């Protein structure tokens, strides 16, 4: 498949990857182990992936997926074990070695330079001539060929910053292919895509497979595994617990393998309609935000949340949901419009800060737990009072009542099954799921009238998701008004009584939680549904 | 292997690694001594004896230590708010101006019981005011505090020269310094204090501000780790967005942290002006403000560490002076070079040895079976 017509430099690059031996396996890992301090991230992992197949790797957070792939891509060295590429043992010391061995990686967060064009990004670091113009001409020829072969259409001369997320991702794939990758690793590739964009990605992956490229797909979305992979491996707590043909398994079976126990799927919508006279806790009218660069982040948002209901806000990340949460939580101010939240009137001229919001029983579980929700360098106990030091029980004449804070933190940890349940540990040393449970515990323990929740289960294990969902539903059943922002459609559909869809800062659709289906919501998230807002 | 995220027990972090750093520094200092034909062991002996061996030496050591504690604490407080206050020098200088102005106006009117607290308050207030301006500019105008505090050191220096030459100078003399304050405004020296109890010790510059420095250490510790305001300070220092989320106003934290930092730096004037010189003179901060940065770095921004680091620098100052006196081959400049080595290894290269220490630690420690 390698075009021999190119120059000698390419020939050198490609020899490493085009050596074909008799091995049917593109990748073979033998007894790979890796430990970080006391943590065994990978233990005796065996893995074989046949050439020209799509292989899925699933597992909860911290199961060791990323470590394993980082070893394959040269970010880490395995403590013991062997890596074979095309049947040949190989030492991958850094990403340069990995690229030379024909391995390409598309990271969850793209490694692209925004102001550069697609062409410039692709050739960055792989320029073949001293003069950019020569390199660009070469790259253009090669990229045209690649996009024809794999149906990867991207405007080569568009700056990356102007492209849709799906196109940026295709650029990343082109980057890997341009470097002669025959094994492509994709880390959570659909996290930032609409369902339609994800479908396009899968078409590309199928085209790659038909051309003999081996694809490894790391994801926690089991539906994708079922749709596209040929074989799948399950990691749990650093160990490989199963290798199966996708055709022989089911989502339920995979989920149980990941978690190691039975799971019950539930739908959490209200069984009965709210009474007519239910109190309204959030009411916004024509809420708009224009940021300092003049970009409209929110436009004419009108929504209402009543006591005892969950309003879900669906949308692809970056369409204004975060700003909506910030405005309602008192962190940002609306430019125009106003809203009433739990009896307080808020507008640009009458701002209410986050502290006062809490004092008025409006609590906020932020989207970004590491930047907002807690302070990584603090102990769990210190993080567990973030935003609540105004409460009299935590301080006495300005002095922290540490024993009291620790005791309360231990109680919170107990109630939300935060592990390890030690208030003296650094917040950063908990796993993502346990950090999230600690934040939820802090915000929910106060029994607020209004709860603003952003991405409550992002990066959280399946086991913990159940608990978090149940706690949010319990709040709703206790009469709390919940506004839930999530990019996970499954989550929105499982929890929301009503769903609003946001697109480019506007609300483009409203659906009843019970009637929602994924395809329609997906179209709405791209503002491509019947009745789209123009 | 990336070792930065592996946690070590506190005793390794705050005791073993700093001691290793100092040993490294002394090793290289020893090489320099050998190069000029001085026996390093003998030199260290003279130094330690000069710093601790007799009452006068010890007095001087602790007198220097006092200044380092103040400036070290000043840098540390700002550091916990993620601010790098390089203006300790200027803040100390202006703190001295505060003391001078107050005493020149009031020393003949008020009794010591009032003068001393007023002098201390003036030092703190003027130091704080001098740090307030860079703090405010950082918070509300975005001018970087590192740049502005450096500038303010120069402004303070120029201002003091002008005032001492033209305004505060004692009439009828050539040297740019104020008149002596009345004795009522002098901070009691340590030998006077001990004398009250019938204990006789040698007369040295060491004065009661040493006790004040220790009290400041306790207060700073309580402030940073045990009060609501210290919690706000640390939150804003670690993560501005988390502070905003929690309803803390980061801009206010920046301003208040700079003011407290400046007040602590201003305390140098209590030691120097109220305790030793008893008049306003030029250049009394003499680099203590800058050395405070090294002290805070070495002391890991913790009061206990700062006391230890300050003592080390006190030993270097006093023992170094003794060394230059005893061995003529060793000049003052060489002593400064040794100090420089210690700052280099404990400050700039503080974490150079850490990866090896981590590896050693992981080797000898039994691994607990924890899965990811």
Q: By CB neighbour count within 10 A (0-12 exposed, 13-18 middle, 19+ buried), where does A239 fall? A: middle
How many other β-carbons are positioned within 10 Å of the β-carbon of residue A372?
26
What's B367's DSSP letter?
Answer: P
How many other β-carbons are positioned within 10 Å of the β-carbon of residue A21?
11
Q: What is the rounded distance in angstroms from the CA atom of residue A314 to the CA atom of residue A521?
A: 8
> Contact, A423 vs A379, CB < 8 A?
yes
Instruction: Say if residue A463 is in the same domain as residue A334.
Output: yes
| Angle at alpha carbon of residue B250, lines to A346 and A319, rounded to 5° | 55
Q: Decide if B247 and A355 are in contact by the 8 Å CB cutoff.
A: yes
How many structural domains does chain A have? 2
Lowest mean pLDDT among A97-106, A356-365, B77-86: A97-106
> Contact, A450 vs A280, CB < 8 A?
no
Residue of A354, A374, A398 lying closest to B227 (CB–CB): A398
On whether residue A423 sits in a domain, the answer given is no
What would the mean pLDDT of B133-145 be, rounded to a whole number? 96
Q: Decide if A353 and B247 are in contact by the 8 Å CB cutoff.
A: yes
User: Which of B9, B245, B360, B365 should one mutate to test binding to chain A, selecting the residue with the greatest count of A CBs within 10 A?
Assistant: B245
Instruction: Say if residue A114 is in the same domain as residue A254.
Output: yes
> Contact, A284 vs A327, CB < 8 A?
no
The pLDDT score that the predictor gives to residue B134 is 97
Distances (CA, A) of A110 to A106, A132, A488: 7, 23, 20
> If phi over 0 gives left and psi between -120 and 50 gives alpha, with beta otherwise, what is residue A512?
beta
Instruction: Say if residue A180 is in the same domain as residue A290.
Output: no
What's A393's DSSP letter?
Answer: G
Instruction: Say if residue A247 is in the same domain as residue A285.
Output: no
On whether residue A408 sits in a domain, the answer given is no
Distances (CA, A) of A14 to A9, A51, A99: 9, 17, 10
- Is the ipTM higher than 0.90? The answer is no
On whether residue B147 sits in a domain, the answer given is yes
pLDDT digits (tens, 9 = 90+) for A380-424: 999 999 999 988 889 888 899 999 999 999 999 999 988 888 899
pLDDT over threshold 80, residue B110: yes
Instruction: Say if residue A347 is in the same domain as residue A494.
Output: yes
Residue bearing tokens 């430019």: A335
The pLDDT score that the predictor gives to residue A464 is 83
Q: Compute and round to an integer the Cα radius of gyration of chain B.
A: 22
Quick one: closest CA in B to A391, which residue?
A: B228
Instruction: Say if residue A27 is in the same domain as residue A98.
Output: yes
Select the highest-mean-pLDDT range: A195-199, B93-97, B324-328. B93-97
> Contact, B125 vs B97, CB < 8 A?
no
Residue of A238, A330, A366 lying closest to B371 (CB–CB): A238
Quick one: closest CA in B to A399, which residue?
A: B227
On whether residue B63 sits in a domain, the answer given is yes
Give me the CATH number covering residue B197: 1.10.3470
> Contact, A234 vs A258, CB < 8 A?
yes
- Label residue A9 by pLDDT band (50, 70, 90): very low
> Contact, B340 vs B24, CB < 8 A?
no
CA A370, A371, A372, A375 dihedral sign is positive
Q: Decide if B244 and A38 are in contact by the 8 Å CB cutoff.
A: no
pLDDT over threshold 50, residue A4: no
The pLDDT score that the predictor gives to residue A364 is 95
Residue, of A264 and A125, whose pLDDT is higher: A125
Residue bearing tokens 């993620």: B82
Torsion of CA A470, A268, A271, A278, to 10 degrees: 70
Distances (CA, A) of A340 to A347, B84, B198: 9, 42, 73
Instruction: Say if residue A184 is in the same domain as residue A309.
Output: no
Kindly state the percentage of chain A with pLDDT values over 70: 94
* Residues of B in Cβ contact (< 8 Å) with A375: 234-235, 238-239, 242
Q: Decide if B231 and A389 are in contact by the 8 Å CB cutoff.
A: yes
Instruction: Say if residue A251 is in the same domain as residue A368.
Output: no
How many structural domains does chain B have? 1
On whether residue A157 sits in a domain, the answer given is yes
pLDDT over threshold 60, residue A13: no
Element (H, E) at A400: strand A399-400
Instruction: Say if residue A363 is in the same domain as residue A458.
Output: yes
Residue, of B243 and A420, whose pLDDT is higher: B243
pLDDT over threshold 50, residue A205: yes
Q: Burial letters for A313-322: b for 16+ Cβ neighbours within 10 Å, e otherwise?
A: bbbbbebbbb
Residue, of B254 and A222, whose pLDDT is higher: B254
Kindly state the percentage of chain B with pLDDT values over 70: 96
The pLDDT score that the predictor gives to residue A47 is 92
* Residues of B in Cβ contact (< 8 Å) with A355: 246-247
pLDDT digits (tens, 9 = 90+) for A465-522: 888 999 999 999 999 999 999 988 888 999 999 999 999 899 999 999 888 888 888 8
pLDDT digits (tens, 9 = 90+) for B173-196: 889 999 999 999 999 999 999 999
The pLDDT score that the predictor gives to residue A2 is 39
Name the minimum distance, in Å, from the CA of B363 to any CA of chain A.
10
Here the tokens at position A444 are 């929910």
Q: What is the rounded distance in angstroms from the CA atom of residue B164 to the CA atom of residue B283?
A: 11
The pLDDT score that the predictor gives to residue B2 is 60
User: For chain B, how far is it from start to end, CA to CA, in angstroms?
Assistant: 18
On whether residue A17 sits in a domain, the answer given is yes
What's A114's DSSP letter?
Answer: T
Instruction: Say if residue A102 is in the same domain as residue A239.
Output: yes
Give me the CATH number covering residue A508: 3.40.50.300
On whether residue B22 sits in a domain, the answer given is no
On whether residue A384 sits in a domain, the answer given is no
User: Which of A398, A439, A452 should one mutate to test binding to chain B, selecting the residue with the greatest count of B CBs within 10 A?
Assistant: A398
On whether residue B12 sits in a domain, the answer given is no
Instruction: Say if residue A140 is in the same domain as residue A57.
Output: yes
Instruction: Say if residue A53 is in the same domain as residue A147.
Output: yes
User: Which of A69, A372, A402 should one mutate to test binding to chain B, selecting the residue with the greatest count of B CBs within 10 A?
Assistant: A372
**Could you list the residue range(s) of the whole structural domain that residue A35 is in?**
8-259
Q: What is the rounded distance in angstroms from the CA atom of residue A523 to the CA atom of residue A515?
A: 15
> Contact, A329 vs A284, CB < 8 A?
no
The pLDDT score that the predictor gives to residue A19 is 42
> Contact, B123 vs B95, CB < 8 A?
yes
pLDDT over threshold 80, residue B372: no
Q: What is the rounded distance in angstroms from the CA atom of residue A511 to the CA atom of residue A496?
A: 10
pLDDT over threshold 90, residue B1: no
Quick one: closest CA in A to B363, which residue?
A: A37
pLDDT over threshold 70, residue A10: no
On whether residue A43 sits in a domain, the answer given is yes
What would the mean pLDDT of B131-146 be, rounded to a whole number? 96
């Amino acid at each position: 498949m390698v075009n021999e017509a190119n120059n000698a430099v390419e020939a050198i690059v490609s020899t490493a990857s085009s050596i074909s031996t008799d091995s049917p396996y593109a990748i073979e890992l033998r007894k790979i182990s890796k430990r970080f301090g006391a943590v065994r991230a990978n233990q005796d992992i065996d893995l074989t992936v046949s050439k020209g197949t799509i292989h899925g790797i699933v597992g909860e957070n911290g199961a060791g997926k990323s470590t394993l792939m980082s070893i394959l891509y040269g970010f880490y060295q395995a403590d013991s074990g062997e890596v074979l590429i095309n049947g040949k043992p190989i030492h991958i010391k850094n990403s340069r070695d990995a690229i030379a061995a024909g391995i390409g990686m598309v990271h969850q967060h793209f490694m692209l330079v925004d102001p550069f064009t697609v062409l410039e990004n692709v050739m960055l670091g792989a320029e073949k001539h001293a003069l950019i113009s020569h390199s660009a001409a070469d790259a253009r020829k090669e990229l045209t060929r690649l996009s024809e072969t794999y149906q990867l259409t991207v405007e080569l001369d568009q700056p990356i910053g102007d492209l849709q997320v799906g196109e940026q991702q295709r650029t990343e794939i082109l980057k890997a292919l341009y470097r002669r990758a025959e094994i492509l690793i994709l880390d959570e590739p659909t996290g930032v895509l609409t369902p339609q964009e994800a479908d396009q990605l899968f078409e590309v992956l199928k085209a790659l497979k038909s051309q003999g490229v081996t694809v490894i797909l790391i994801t926690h979305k089991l539906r994708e595994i079922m749709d596209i992979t040929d074989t799948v491996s399950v990691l749990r707590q650093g160990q490989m617990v199963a290798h199966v043909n996708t055709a022989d398994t089911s989502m339920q079976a995979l989920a149980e393998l990941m978690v190691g126990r039975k799971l019950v799927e539930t739908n959490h919508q209200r069984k009965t309609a709210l009474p007519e006279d239910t109190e309204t806790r959030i009411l916004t009218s024509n809420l708009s935000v224009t940021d300092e660069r003049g970009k409209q982040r929110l436009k004419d948002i009108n929504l209402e949340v009543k006591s005892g209901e969950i309003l879900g806000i669906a949308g692809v990340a970056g369409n204004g949901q975060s700003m909506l949460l910030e405005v309602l939580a008192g962190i940002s101010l609306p430019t125009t419009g106003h809203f009433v939240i739990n009896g307080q009137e808020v507008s640009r001229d009458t701002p209410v800060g986050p502290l006062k919001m809490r004092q008025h029983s409006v609590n906020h579980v932020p989207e970004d737990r590491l930047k907002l929700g807690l302070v990584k360098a603090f102990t769990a106990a210190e993080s567990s009072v973030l935003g609540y030091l105004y409460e009299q029980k935590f301080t006495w004449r300005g002095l922290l009542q540490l024993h009291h804070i620790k005791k309360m933190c231990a109680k919170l940890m107990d109630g939300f099954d935060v592990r390890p349940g030690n208030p003296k540990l650094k917040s950063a040393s908990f796993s993502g799921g346990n950090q999230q449970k600690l934040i939820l515990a802090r915000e929910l323990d106060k029994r607020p009238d209004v709860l603003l929740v952003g991405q409550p289960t992002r990066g959280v294990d399946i086991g913990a998701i159940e608990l978090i969902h149940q706690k949010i539903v319990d709040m709703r059943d206790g009469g709390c008004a919940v506004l839930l922002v999530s990019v996970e459609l499954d989550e929105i559909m499982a929890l929301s009584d009503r769903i609003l869809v946001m697109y480019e800062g506007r609300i483009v659709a409203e659906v009843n939680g019970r009637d929602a289906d994924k395809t329609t919501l997906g179209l709405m998230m791209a503002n491509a549904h019947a009745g789209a807002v123009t | 292997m990336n070792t930065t995220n592996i946690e070590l027990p506190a005793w390794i972090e705050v005791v073993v690694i700093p001691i290793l750093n100092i040993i490294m520094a002394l090793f290289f200092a020893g090489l320099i001594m050998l190069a000029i034909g001085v026996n390093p062991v003998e030199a260290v002996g003279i130094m330690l004896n000069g710093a601790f061996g007799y009452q006068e030496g010890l007095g001087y050591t602790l007198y220097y230590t006092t200044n380092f504690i103040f400036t070290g604490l000043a840098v540390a407080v700002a550091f916990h708010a993620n601010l790098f206050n390089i203006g300790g020098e200027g803040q100390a200088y202006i703190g001295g101006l505060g003391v001078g102005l107050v005493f020149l106006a009031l020393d003949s009117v008020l009794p010591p019981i009032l003068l001393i607290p007023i002098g201390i308050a003036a030092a703190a207030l003027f130091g704080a005011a001098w740090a307030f301006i860079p703090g405010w500019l950082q918070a509300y105008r975005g001018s970087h505090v590192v740049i502005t505090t450096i500038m303010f050191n120069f402004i303070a220096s120029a201002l003091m020269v002008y005032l001492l030459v033209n305004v505060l100078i004692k009439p009828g003399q050539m040297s740019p310094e104020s008149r002596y304050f009345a004795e009522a405004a002098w901070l009691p020296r340590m030998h006077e204090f001990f004398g009250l109890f019938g204990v006789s010790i040698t007369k040295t510059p060491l004065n009661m501000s040493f006790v004040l420095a220790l009290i400041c250490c306790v207060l700073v510790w309580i402030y940073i780790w045990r009060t609501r305001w210290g919690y706000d300070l640390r939150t804003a220092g670690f993560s501005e967005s988390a502070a905003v989320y929690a309803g803390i106003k980061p801009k206010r934290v920046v301003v208040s942290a700079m003011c407290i930092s400046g007040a602590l730096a201003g305390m140098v004037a209590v030691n120097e002006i109220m305790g030793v010189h008893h008049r306003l003179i030029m250049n009394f901060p003499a680099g203590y403000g800058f050395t405070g940065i090294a002290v805070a770095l070495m002391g890991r921004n913790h009061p206990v560490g700062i006391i230890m680091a300050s003592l080390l620098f006190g030993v270097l100052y006093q023992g170094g002076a003794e060394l230059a006196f005893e061995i003529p081959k060793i000049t003052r400049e060489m002593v400064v070079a040794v100090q420089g080595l210690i700052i280099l290894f404990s400050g700039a290269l503080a974490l150079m040895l850490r990866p090896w220490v981590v590896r050693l630690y992981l080797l000898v420690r039994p691994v607990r079976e924890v899965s990811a």
